[in-house]
Structures are given as C-alpha cells and as structure tokens.
A and B are shown apart, each in its own frame.
Chain A
C-alpha cells in the first residue's frame, strides 16, 4: 500500500501495467522513459526474449524528485502477458498500489483481453487485494489500426470496464494517451495515500 512516510519523508507508489501479450504495456513504459529529462533518467530494466516479448517484467523507477519536502518515487512495472507466465504476474502484483489495464483494441484479441482481466482479478484476490476497489485505469490501445480491425471504444468499454473506471484511447507506439493514462492512475493512487499506522508498543 502506498504510504506517506513522515519519518523518512518519502512517498513510494507501485503501478503495474497489466494486459494480454503484445497489447502495448512495454511500449507505454518506453514512451514514458523517452520523455524523461536526462537528469531524471534512471535505468529501465527490461527483460525480453529473443523475439522481443517481455520475459519477466519491465521496471521503470520514476524518481519525481522532492515534492512538498517528500522524495517521491513511482515504480512502474509491466507483467508478461503470455498465459504461461502466471507466476511472474503474481509476483509483480505484490504490493501494487494501482493497475493500468492495457487492452488490445483488435477485434480478434477481445477474448485475450477478457482472459487477462479475469487473470488480473484472480491474482489480485490471491494477493488479498480487492479487485473492486484497487485503483484501476483502462487503456484501449492500438487505436491507430484500421477501423475494420479494431473494436469500438464503446464495445471495449462495455465488455471490459464493468467497474466504470477512467479509460483512455491509446496509440502507445507514438505516445498517444500514455501520459493521460499515467496521470489518471497516479491521481487515483495518490487519493488513497495514507499515513503509516503507528506501531503500538
């Protein structure tokens, strides 16, 4: 859970980009990374297979510097979308504060989107997190593909967004909707920031 630590004056939030394989999760992080000013560019850790698919996860530490006297860090992760990396997805979800679900807008990928969303819910529940209340934002990616190949936003929203959370069109390949999505999930996560519980002696 994201916490404002008044002792160390730190705020740390963990955001996970979830979704089916090849939906554009890594592309989201790559665009964010490309926009970081040089002085804030840390290392984006990306473990990919020889076919460029995410093998384990991507990790982008986003050091926002000191805000209101607090060292603020967002940790952005992606999960491997492929079905057989279920254990990795569970691992990456540990301690998550917010999720961006990156859906592939292609009509033929609708079943994969649904399967991935169900997988997300199951894994969150396994982690003791309530999938109905955890900060969540939807991004319907690949809106730049020919209209004949993609589902409409309304259709995707009807099928995937039953929580009625904020959603965004994405063309992550050229940065479209990437920061809007990040801003939205960051805002939701921040609204749930809490002060740490004081230890009883």
Chain B
C-alpha cells in the first residue's frame, strides 16, 4: 500500500489536524452505528381471522365417510 504512505506537512493551524480527523471519524462512526443498530422489530403477526361461518350449502362434516365412499364407487 505504498500510496498510503504520506509524509506529513507539519502542524497546520491549531486544531486543524484534529478537526480533519474528527470530520473523517464522525462520518465513519455514523455509518458504523447505523449498520450495527438494533434492527427494527418485525411487524406483529396479523391477528387470526375467525373463519367465516360455513356456507349453508357446503358440506363440512361427513361423519359416515366410509358409507359415502362406497356409495360413490357404485
């Protein structure tokens, strides 16, 4: 990483170097904090809807299923 090697220019104005450092670091910290931040909670699951009352014409129970099967097969 030879391009990273820099020779300093000596002290700039009082606090100047520190101000530059702060500017860079603040940006980096802001990004980091954001990426690590607690993930937003997943929305709560929608409440279960009560199943609608079965249509009057719909057969929902078939107690004597074996009899009906035999009947169908005839």
Contact = CB atoms under 8 A, between A and B. Distances in A.
A119 interface: no
Interface in A178-201: 178-180, 182-184, 186-187, 190-191, 193-195
A169 B11 CA distance: 15
Given A35-B18, A179-B17, A171 B7 contact: yes
A107 B14 CA distance: 34
B7 A143 contact: yes
Contacts, number: 107
A183 B25 contact: yes
A178 B6 CA distance: 10
Contact of A176 (B1, B10, B14): B10
Interface residues of B, number: 31
Given A35-B15, A174-B10, A177-B6, A67 B21 contact: no
Per DSSP, are chain B's interface residues mostly helix, strand or loop, or mixed?
helix
Contacts of A98: none
A193 B36 contact: yes
A168 B14 contact: no
A167 interface: yes
Contacts of B10: 171, 174-176
A87 to B, nearest CB: 33
Interface of B: 1-2, 4-11, 14-22, 24-26, 28-30, 32-34, 36-38
